[in-house]
Amino acid sequence: MITTVEPGVWGVLATPFSGAALEVDTIGIARLVEHAEQAGVTGLTVLGVFGEAARLSWQERRTVLETVLATTHLPLVVGCTSQATAPVIDEAEMAADLVGERLAAVMVQVNSVDPQALQNHLTAIHRDSGARIVIQDYPATTGVNVSSAVLGDVTVRCDFVAAVKAEAPPTPVAIAELTARCSVPVFGGLGGINLLDELAVGAAGAMTGFSYPEALVSCVREWFSGNAAASRAALIGYLPLIAFEQQPGIAMAIRKECLRRRGLISEAAVRPPARALPESLIDVLADHLSLAGVVTA
């Protein structure tokens, strides 16, 4: 297996669906993967929260992974959606068995504010699956609000942790505290909405989804080339669209509609209980795309 999670942009892959039965659209997955690779991402994050992995059957998760593996040679971080240790181990073992040497890590959500309980959870997953771990701190999904001090200390004690994905606002503060405590790369998320500030305090890049990943890639590349002004210029025009796309409850529906308008997927459907894009926002989305100066199908 790969032993590092390289700095850069790790694109979070959406899972497109088609038809009345909302079947997994493997053609759409392949298009998304090809586009992300062309955009210059460092790797892909598959079966994450924005991949609607919690709404996929076990076989559908395998189908997604197999499609990605057949489409690209990029390294993968594979998300685990459960919070209890035993089901996360099952998810991690499937990822390790299926992805093999191209697995950079499995992404595991913080499930406890108690440092020993969290360490025990992570240790068991690594021990049984053999996979390195990206710790995802995403309280908006888990409801678990752990301090950066606890998270940093647990990371230091777990030498199998490959990276941390910090999505607890204010993320620039969290990233600054984490990078001061541990040596593993710390990535921002949340669509890149705070990416410029996160880079300024030591982020290794972004591990997130956005319908225009090329903007994130350009921003991060310019930053690490020492061109702060060019980094800002690469992202600044997209920030209103990023903020619009990150709206709680409808974020996935907005992103999928953007991807559909780009011609990358055929349908923008999301699986319940996720909400579809409200009719009232369709014209607003069109305005955001126009102001960002992007071309849609």
Domains (ranges, CATH) in the chain?
8-239 (3.20.20.70)
pLDDT of residue 4: 75
Residue among 152, 145, 245 nearest 192 (CA):
245
165 vs 14, 57, 189, 204, CA distance in Å?
18, 25, 7, 10
pLDDT of residue 294: 78
Residue with tokens 């990078």: 179
- Reply yes or no: is the peptide bond before residue 273 cis, omega within 30 of 0: yes
Q: What is the pTM of this model?
A: 0.95
pLDDT of residue 89: 98
Low-confidence ranges of the chain (pLDDT < 50): none
Across 72-194, the runs of DSSP E, i.e. the strands, are 76-79, 103-109, 133-137, 161-166, 186-188
Question: 3: burial class by Cβ within 10 Å (0-12, 13-18, 19+)?
Answer: exposed
Sign of the dihedral defined by the CA atoms of residues 163, 210, 81, 144, in that order: positive
Residue 103, helix vs strand vs coil: strand
Residue 38, helix vs strand vs coil: helix
pLDDT of residue 246: 95
Rounded (to 5) percent helix, strand, coil in the chain: 50, 15, 35
pLDDT of residue 292: 87
The DSSP H or E segment spanning 24 is: strand 23-24
Question: What is the Cα–Cα distance from 185 to 195, expressed in whole angstroms?
Answer: 15
pLDDT of residue 57: 97
53 vs 16, 247, 268, 297, CA distance in Å?
11, 19, 16, 27
Residues 17/23, Cβ–Cβ less than 8 Å: yes
pLDDT of residue 3: 63
Report the length, in residues, of the chain: 297
15 vs 112, 129, 256, CA distance in Å?
28, 24, 9
Residues 294/212, Cβ–Cβ less than 8 Å: yes
pLDDT of residue 297: 58
Question: What is the Cα–Cα distance from 290 to 78, expressed in whole angstroms?
Answer: 34
